[in-house]
Each structure stands twice: as C-alpha cells, then as structure tokens.
Amino acid sequence: MKQSTYLALTIGPIYKTLALAKRTRELWAASYIFSCLMEQIVVKFDSDKQFEIILPIKMNKPAIIKTGAGLHPDRLILKVKSEVQINQADIQFKFNKYITVIRDKFIREASKIAGGTDVTTQDFLKNYFQFYSIIVQLSERDDPIKSIFPLLDTLEQQPGFNPVFSTEQLLKTNPKQEVLVKDFLKNIKGSGLYEGAFEKGNDYRFPMILEIATNGLRKAEFHYNIQFKSSEEAFDKIFELFQQPNIEDDAKSIIKLLKENFDDDSKNENKPSKPGQQFRHYHKYMAVVQADGDDMGLLLRALFEYGGTEAIQSFSGFLIEFGYAASQKIKDYDGVPIYLGGDDMLFFAPIKNNNQNIFMLINQLDKLFKDCLSENKHVLEAIAGWNKGMERDKKRKKVGLPTISYGVAFSYHKYPLKKAIEAARSLLFETAKHLPGKNTASFRLLKHTGHYIGASFNKQWLTWDVFDELLNDKKLNETFVSSIQFNLEPLRPVFKRILTGRKIDFATASFNELSIKFLPDEGSREYLLKNLSDNFYNEAGTHDQPREFIETVLALLLQTYRDMEYSFGNNPDTADQAINSVYACLRMMQFFNQPDNKEDEE
Amino acid sequence: MTVYRIDLVPLERFFFGGENTFGADNSDNYSVRSIHFPQQTTLLGTLRYLLLQSNDLMDENGKVTDKDKEKILIGKEGFSTSNFKMGYGKIKKLFPVFISGPDGDYVVQSREFGLNWIEDEISGTKTQGLVPLRFRPQKGQSFLAGNKNFIPFLEGLNAKTIFPDLLLNLSNKQIRYWDFGHALRGNPMNGIFIEEEQIGINKKEKENGFYKQVGYRMLDGYGFSFYAEIEEEIDPIVNQPIKMGADQSWFNVSVARINDNDSTCELFMNLKPCNIFHYPNSSSSKIVLLSDTYIKRDFFNEYIDFALADTYSFKYLQTNRPKSEGKYKNEKANFYMDKSLQNFELLKKGSVLFVDYNQKADIMKKLTGNNDIAAAFHQIGYNYAI
C-alpha cells in the first residue's frame, strides 16, 4: 500500500516552565510562549506547499480582538503531499531548517529578555527548551493521530537538561541572575510578547490575583466620589497605583481602598440606616479553572474512520475557533484566559460578576461548545457512522457529542498560584474525569489549613441546575444557611436510612447496614423526609421562617441522591456522598453571599 | 584498605535540603520539602566528622585542634568538583546510599514502571495500577538531542501516565513505593517514608512570615546505609547519636566492617552484569543509575539512545570558599561554607538510559570519568550504574 511521509513535532517543557511562575503574568507568559512558538511554526509550514498540515489548523480569519489567550497546542503533525517528488533526506533537512530558524530566533530573544545574550545563556536556554521531532512512514489507512501521538508521548519523557552551569559567568554580567528561565518569565513585562498578545500591547497591565478576584467591582454600583467618575475608573486607578515601581502591592491597602470606594450596596433611592459593603468575602478569592474535553480520543478516531484526514483537519480548525470564541466569553465575564487549545482550557476568573457567577460561565462555555460542534457536519457524520458500526464491532464504545469536564479551585488571593493550579488540575483529572459519564464540574474552596469544601456534579444532573439556581437566590438568609449545617449533621443516620431504605443497626459503632434490600419507591422517600421536617422543625415561631428553606434543602438532598444513585448505586456510601455534597452546596451559598469580616481570612 | 558499612537510623523527623530551601539567601519560598535521600556530600561530611571525633581532633565547640592531622585523616576540605586528585585523606571511596530495613536492603527501582488508570471492563470503575513500560524503538527518524535512525517508543505509556517513586528489595525482589500512604494500609507495596509537615510563623518577618516545612520519618527499623573504603582501622561504632541534615536531626550511626556474605556490597563494588532490573527491559541494552549521576552533554548526545529519566538541580556546600562569603557558618567551630558557584543538573538514581548493547561496556567505563568532574563525583558515590 502506498506510504506517505509524516513529520511531527512536540515542544516543551510546558509543565516544568509553568511551575517556575509565581505571578499571574509569569504564568501567562510560561504558557503563551509555547502557543506563540507553535503559531510561528504553523504559519511557516502553511506557506510551503509541499507540506500539508494535519493539525493544528490556523484560524480562518484573524482574531477580531486580541484576548491574550494561547490557542495553539504543543504538537504539530504534517504530511508531505503525495504528489511531491522529494527524497527523505531533503525533506528532513527542510523540516529541521524551518524549525531551527524559528527556534534560534526565539532563543536569542529569550536570552535578551532573561538578561544576557552571551553564548552561555543561549546555550542554556537551547538545552532547556525542547523541540523534539520525528519522521515516519504511514499508509493511507493509518490514522495519523492514533499512530503518532503515542510516539510523541514517549519523546516527551526525555528531559532536556544542562549538566553544568556556572553562575560565576552570569554573576559577572548581571549580579541578580541565577535561574535563567525564572528571570525570563520575570522580565516578560515590556518585552515584545505583549505586543502580539494584547490590544493595549506593551501598555497592558496584566492583572494580579486580587485584581482578577475583584473584577466584578468594575461594573458595580458606585458611590459617587469626586475623585472618580465611574466604578471602572476607580477600580483601574486603584490597581494602577499599586503597579508603580516604588509601591509594594500590599493586599491590605488595596482592599482598604476598594472598600472605601465601593462602600454602599444599596440602590440609590432607599438608603438603609447601615450601608453594606459591596466588597464581599468572595472578592478575596479567585477561581482557577482547568477544563478538558471528555473522550476526545475516541471522537478523533471516529472522525478519521468516517471522514479521513479532512475530518481531522476540520475538527482541528473548529477547536481553535472555539478556543477563540471561548476566550472572548471569558473576557466578557472579566476573566483572564490563559490557554484555550480547543478542548483543553486554563483560565482565571472572579467568582461572581454582577448577576453572573463562575458556574454560569461554565454553562455558557458548554453551550458554546455544543452549538459549534453540532454545526460541524464531519462530527455528526462520524458519530452516526461510528455508533452504527457498533453493530458489527461489539468491542466498540459508543461515542456522543463530546462534553467538557472542569476542575474549579477557589483560591485565596495569598495562596501560591502554583498550588491553586495543581489543585484545579487534580480536581479535573483525579475527580471529575472519574465520575461515570464525565461531563462533570468538580469544585473546591481551598483553605490554608488544608481543610476544604467541595463537591462534584455531573452537569446533566438536575442537581446541577438546582444548585446553580440556589446560588443566585437573593432571598437567601445567611444565618439560616450557616446554622442549618449544624442542625442537619445529627440526623445523618436518619437521612441515610430514608435515602437507602436499608436498616441501620444502631447498636454497632459503625454503620454496617444489614442486607435487607428493599428499594423504597419514590413517594415514600419524599413522604419520609416531609415527616422528618414536620417533626424536627415544628416549633412555632422559631421554625416558621426557615421552614421553607429547610424543605428546599431536603428537596436538594433527595434530588442529589437520585442523581448519584443512578451512577453509584443505592447504598450508604452514596448517601454519605449526597449529604456531603449538600453541605458543600450550603457552604457555597454562604460563601457567595457573606460579607467580608474585619479580620483577614485564614 | 578496609570496607565499612555505615548505617544511619533516624531517631526523629529529618530534613535534607534540596534545591529550594529557606536558606540564608533564599526568602522566596514559603513551603519547602525535604528530599528523601541524603546527598552523598552529606554522607561524606558525616563520615569526616565521625573520623575527627573518634580520633579526638575536635574541641568542645567542634573546632579542629590539629590541622595537619586533619589533613592526613580526612583531607583538607570537603567535596569539590575539582578534587579528583587530592582525595579525602584516609577516606578513599564512598559508595551509593541505599535503604536498609528489617526485611532487607532496598535500592531505587528503575524508572520502568508507570502508574496508569486502568478501567475495569465490566464495572467501568477505574483504579490505578503499575504498568511495565517496554522500550520498543519504531521505524523512522527522530530528533531529540541529536539525529537518530529510529523512533523511541515506550509500550504501555500514555499521556496520563505518572512515574511513581519505587524501591526494590534486593533480597525478596519486592517492589514498594517510597512514600507511606494511609490508603495503602496493609498493602505490602506501602512505602517507608512518612511525611511530616511543620507549619510555623517566623516572627521576624512582618508579612510573609508563614512557612511550611515538610520533612520525613521512616518506618521503625528502617534507615540509610552506605559503604566506604577507608584506609584506617576504625573500632566498630554501635548506635551513636549524631546530627545530620539541614535541621540537624538526630540519627543513630553504626559503623562496622563488612561481613563476608554482604551481597549488597557486592552489588556496588563489582557492578558485574546483574539482573536485578531484568524486567521489563533487557539489562544488556540499558543502563540503570544506582546513584545520582553527572553526565556531560556531548556524552549524552553521542551514546544515549533514549533516556527515561528525571533530573534535579544541585549545588553542593563548599568549604573552600573564603570566610567572608560563608553564609552557612559555625563561628565557634571556625567553619564556613557557601553554595558552589556551579549549578549541576544531575540525573536521578533509578533513571534508565537505553543504549546500544555493543556499546554498553564502554559507556559504563566512561560514566565513572577520568580526572574530571565525573571522577570527582564518582569518588564519593555518584555516577554508579548497572
């Protein structure tokens, strides 16, 4: 069978470089340089008609607004066009030349930014940044992604390294230098990288964590102040002040200024006797979100089988377009998109922004993804064809319109950025991705003490919708929310009994259920819960007001259990999980609404 | 020339400084973690100290009383990469550190096992399991550190594979994790190192005084061991308390001549082809590092087909830096040290280097160096492989 020549490249080390970043702009730079490099490489190969790019595919039209997001993945696959008459050695030479030119230019510029253009510095950076490539022959029937990606997985295991590096040389030229790549990231502000990435170019002020966390105040109700005409102006001026070279970004002072300027959350007419603070407790936290498409590998295989290379290319193009559209949505929410390689996303965002919150943003991104996908005929054909093929190939797993899972970490503004990103990553890959059906959002409020509050919901569950609604419920009484958590816990065994329908042996210390297996029918669970509520919260006067709220909470509990039961089965562990998730919901509701206390958060 | 075995059993939580420490020059880090194994340089320092002590050459402050005798006994200075001639007095050679326990001696397992999420076909649940990674070069060309006429490929690896830290028991060939985990209670693979976190506040710092330090303890009966060739008769030492590490934690040290049937010693001393890492890739076409290793760039590019390796940044504490530069010091003992000006990136023990089986013997010889930096490292226990 006729063979074609494929070339593939992987650049890095991405995670190692991300780990060196401390500030938000450094983190952005660590991610963006790779996207930027890949973009240059793609443009170069795109202009050479001897090569056909399989992925990543360039955007059809240039971006309308620069969002600063990296859109290009770290892998490239090319094919030498079949009609091209050229021998292996020449192809290899050309391929290496293109990449080397781009790489060397990058190294020179990176050295300048890192602070030294001497040979030692350039050599160091050359050994640090990885440009690993392969050339391989595949037949027309071979799926290039299925054949090549695993090879790139292996290549990435070999570390680049600098066996010995003398700081003596560096210390002579620049006394502060020690870790070159760290210096490269630190000096990124004002380098050429900003020009290509942001509308304001080098004038762009990359927001720090606290600014991202409080971005919601930009459009808040603003107390008229002679100094500033609008909330946006006040906000910008405050943060600009702290970017001056001589002023240390002192979180306490920033928060104080924000509170002073955004001190009244009443609407103009009826000012209450005690004005509230627009600066809330959640303003001290930033959402770090990592997302990844579910079962994309399977979809790619289906695409190749039913649409060949053309389908893969179309899908790759779609991913970049979607990445761009998603970055715009995130920016509209006043979030900060870092990397949006189609199905693989990293961004920072405020927890709430006026009437929107981070979970609503996630829903919007999901909808955008789904809408765009369902317009792609290649995808629809591939899914239909593949699933039909299950009739003859019993081992085949069913594929549907892909979904996205999210890991969401609510990180305190003083918490190390690196840890927050690791947490979001872990929530995504170790929790969300392991829930049956995936399509899950796993969120967690990170506290210094190590203690955390969080839950995971499949976004198809009704529970997810109920949860979103409750978070936006303005009628919520904050004291009810905090007290009810204490009130519910002693009733845990009873809840478990009602939910599972199994007997609990109260005589033993642990809850080892006896195996009476009768599944309660729906009516009886609701009835039992209502009885419980009637019995325990029946004191006239004390319980009248919270009654409605308690019933809402119990309804949430039952719905959560119903949803989880479907995935995890009807058993006490599932009941525990449901109860814990309801706590997490309550805690979130409290978190989303509580004012900020005088004392600083832990 | 006598070969001794030195055993160090931790009496409490220990902390060995790695690349990131709180250090005199580094206030950037709020959270630091101990490395699991002591550096060979730490072991050299400990041995030199022990010899001074047993020969009564220090006063009560730790200051050396007779510089000439010191020089003969343990050499003029501590480790330095330019010291491949002068040596360390009567201390001729140090061998790599390993772990000893009631159930035998452990070395670091070769990095040929990955941890994958494996889906159970029937239930759909996923569990983590160790997967052997077989090196199966594929047809084609590759360009990593240089041009190669094949494409390296590890069967069993996927994009989500993690590389766990593993130990190999030399007696019963069992594999265990390094770290002890509660989730693995009862599982024979459960590890030896127990994490112990210490959180505190440095009152002198006004804003960023908060810090977190993660050290380790070991399961009862476990400790570090190493062999040393010493040209001096030492009376056996049994369970003498000694301080080691950045936090100066207490260890019990024992020193004794080796037994005739000490097979672990044979492993390090003879380094003859041995099949402790026979699976999953053939020993003849790979080199497994028994200790952290320094390799020159050119050497790596020329001889190594593919490296399944991890690296780390290393600076040793130099004793030959002028007094004024010594940030780490004990003034009463007249002892000053500072970090070396050179920064090394070493390959970690357990790393696997795939090579052409025809060249393996040659490469092994070159690994230990010859009047160069590699030789200096090798003398105190780095650059050992099998």
What digits encode the pLDDT tens for the residues B72-103?
888 888 888 887 777 899 999 999 999 999 99
Identity of the highest mean pLDDT range in A283-287, B49-53, B118-122: A283-287
The closest CB to that of B144, out of A158, A164, A416, belongs to A158
Cβ proximity of A11 and A49 under 8 Å: no
Q: In what order do the strands lie in the sheet with B306-308?
A: B286-288, B352-354, B306-308
Is residue A410 predicted with pLDDT exceeding 90? Answer: yes
Min mean pLDDT across A66-70, A530-534, B46-50 is at: A530-534
Q: A167 vs B341: CB contact, 8 Å cut-off?
A: yes
Interface test with B, best of A20, A121, A161, A177 (most B CBs within 10 A): A161
Q: How far apart are CA B223 and CA B227, in angstroms?
A: 14
Q: What percent of chain A has pLDDT over 90?
A: 41
Interface test with B, best of A91, A145, A157 (most B CBs within 10 A): A157
DSSP codes, A480-543: HHHHHHHHHGGGHHHHHHHHH---B-TTSSS--B-----PPPHHHHHHHHHHHHHHHS--TTTS
- In the structure encoding, which two tokens stand for residue A70, read together? 């990296």
pLDDT band at residue B237, thresholds of 50, 70 and 90?
Answer: confident
CA distance B199 to chain A (A): 10
Answer with the residue of higher pLDDT: B384 or A89: B384
pLDDT band at residue A520, thresholds of 50, 70 and 90?
Answer: very low
Q: Does B341 touch chain A (CB under 8 A)?
A: yes
Instruction: Check residue A122 and give its pLDDT.
Output: 86
State CA A401 to chain mean position distance.
Answer: 20
Instruction: Check residue A230 and give its pLDDT.
Output: 79
In the predicted model, what is the mean pLDDT of chain B?
87
Min mean pLDDT across A211-215, B14-18, B151-155, B285-289 is at: B14-18
CA distance A519 to chain B (A): 21
Min mean pLDDT across A271-285, A524-538, A573-587, B78-92 is at: A271-285
Instruction: Check residue A507 and give its pLDDT.
Output: 53
Q: Does B159 touch chain A (CB under 8 A)?
A: yes
Is residue A505 predicted with pLDDT exceeding 60? Answer: no
pLDDT band at residue B24, thresholds of 50, 70 and 90?
Answer: very low
Instruction: Check residue B213 and give its pLDDT.
Output: 85
- Segment A317-336 shows an average pLDDT of 93
pLDDT band at residue A428, thresholds of 50, 70 and 90?
Answer: very high
The closest CB to that of A134, out of B30, B151, B309, belongs to B151
The single-letter DSSP state of residue B296 is -
pLDDT band at residue A369, thresholds of 50, 70 and 90?
Answer: very high
pLDDT band at residue A61, thresholds of 50, 70 and 90?
Answer: confident
Q: A165 vs B138: CB contact, 8 Å cut-off?
A: no
Instruction: Check residue A340 and give its pLDDT.
Output: 92
Q: What percent of chain B has pLDDT over 70?
A: 91
- Segment B146-156 shows an average pLDDT of 93
Q: How far apart are CA A293 and CA A369, in angstroms?
A: 10
The end-to-end CA distance of chain B, in Å, is 24
Q: B345 vs A163: CB contact, 8 Å cut-off?
A: yes
Residues of chain A positioned with their CB less than 8 A from the CB of B341: 166-168, 171
Q: How far apart are CA A374 and CA A388, in angstroms?
A: 18
Instruction: Check residue A224 and give its pLDDT.
Output: 60
Q: Does B345 touch chain A (CB under 8 A)?
A: yes
Answer with the residue of higher pLDDT: A313 or B343: A313
- Could you say which residues from 3 to 32 on chain B have a Cβ atom under 8 Å away from some Cβ of chain A? 28, 30-31
CA distance B78 to chain A (A): 20
Answer with the residue of higher pLDDT: A75 or A171: A75
Q: A166 vs B341: CB contact, 8 Å cut-off?
A: yes
Residue recorded with tokens 């899972």: A405
* Residues of A engaging B, defined by a Cβ cutoff of 8 Å: 22, 88, 92, 96, 127, 130-137, 149-151, 153-155, 157-159, 161-168, 171, 178, 416, 429, 434, 436
pTM above 0.80, yes or no: yes
The closest CB to that of B140, out of A22, A134, A149, belongs to A134
CA distance A134 to chain B (A): 4
Q: Is residue A541 left, alpha or beta, with left meaning phi > 0 and alpha meaning psi from -120 to 50?
A: left
Is residue B138 predicted with pLDDT exceeding 80? Answer: yes
φ, ψ (nearest 5 deg) of residue B114: -110, 160
Q: Which residue does chain A place closest to B154, by CA atoms?
A: A154
Instruction: Check residue B9 and give its pLDDT.
Output: 96
CA distance A8 to chain B (A): 9
- Count of C-beta atoms within a 10 Å radius of residue A240: 10
Q: How far apart are CA A190 and CA A205, in angstroms?
A: 10
Is residue A32 predicted with pLDDT exceeding 50? Answer: yes
Bridge partners of residue A345, in order along the sequence:
A291, A340
Answer with the residue of higher pLDDT: B332 or A201: A201
Residues of chain B positioned with their CB less than 8 A from the CB of A153: 154, 157-159, 161
Q: How far apart are CA A69 and CA A89, in angstroms?
A: 37
Q: How far apart are CA B169 and CA B167, in angstroms?
A: 7
Instruction: Check residue B71 and give its pLDDT.
Output: 87
Min mean pLDDT across A208-212, A585-589, B159-163, B245-249 is at: B245-249
Min mean pLDDT across A364-368, A538-542, B190-194 is at: A538-542
The closest CB to that of B143, out of A88, A132, A162, belongs to A132
Min mean pLDDT across A401-405, A412-416, A437-441 is at: A412-416
Amino acid at the residue B194: I
Q: How far apart are CA A37 and CA A97, in angstroms?
A: 15
Q: B138 vs A136: CB contact, 8 Å cut-off?
A: yes
Min mean pLDDT across A104-118, A325-339, A463-477, B22-36 is at: B22-36
Q: What percent of chain A has pLDDT over 70?
A: 86
Answer with the residue of higher pLDDT: A196 or A176: A196
Min mean pLDDT across A367-376, A434-443, B201-210 is at: B201-210
Instruction: Check residue A602 and give its pLDDT.
Output: 41
Q: B343 vs A167: CB contact, 8 Å cut-off?
A: yes
Pairing of strands B306-308, A452-458: unpaired
- Could you say which residues from 59 to 118 on chain B have a Cβ atom under 8 Å away from some Cβ of chain A? 117
Instruction: Check residue B346 and give its pLDDT.
Output: 92
Q: How far apart are CA A569 and CA A315, in angstroms?
A: 37
Instruction: Check residue B251 and give its pLDDT.
Output: 95
The closest CB to that of B373, out of A153, A164, A171, belongs to A164
The closest CB to that of A164, out of B152, B160, B344, belongs to B344
Q: CA triplet A419, A424, A63: central angle to 5 degrees?
A: 110
Q: How far apart are CA A98 and CA A102, in angstroms?
A: 7
Residues of chain A positioned with their CB less than 8 A from the CB of B160: 429
CA distance B207 to chain A (A): 9
Instruction: Check residue B30 and give its pLDDT.
Output: 66
Cβ proximity of B262 and B5 under 8 Å: yes
The single-letter DSSP state of residue A599 is S
Instruction: Check residue A559 and give its pLDDT.
Output: 92
Is the previous residue joined to A56 through a cis bond, with omega within 30 degrees of 0? Answer: yes
CA distances from A329 to A219, A294, A332 (A): 16, 21, 5
Residues of chain A positioned with their CB less than 8 A from the CB of B118: none
Tell me if residue A84 falls in helix, strand or coil: coil
Min mean pLDDT across A510-514, B287-291, B323-327 is at: A510-514
Amino acid at the residue B344: F
Cβ proximity of A341 and A319 under 8 Å: yes
B159-162 long-range Cβ contacts below 8 angstroms, 24+ apart? B159/A149, B159/A153, B160/A429, B160/B116, B160/B117, B161/A153, B161/B114, B161/B115, B161/B116, B161/B131, B161/B133, B162/B114, B162/B115
Q: Which residue does chain B place closest to A157, by CA atoms?
A: B308
Instruction: Check residue B338 and give its pLDDT.
Output: 74
Cβ proximity of B246 and B23 under 8 Å: no
DSSP codes, A397-455: PP--S--EEEEEEEEETTS-HHHHHHHHHHIIIIIGGGSTT--EEEEEEE-TTS-EEEE
Nearest Cα neighbor of A223 from A152, A186, A278, A294 is A278
Instruction: Check residue A240 and give its pLDDT.
Output: 85
Residues A231/A234/A235/A240 CA torsion (nearest 10 deg): 160
Q: Does B236 touch chain A (CB under 8 A)?
A: no
Is residue B46 predicted with pLDDT exceeding 80? Answer: yes
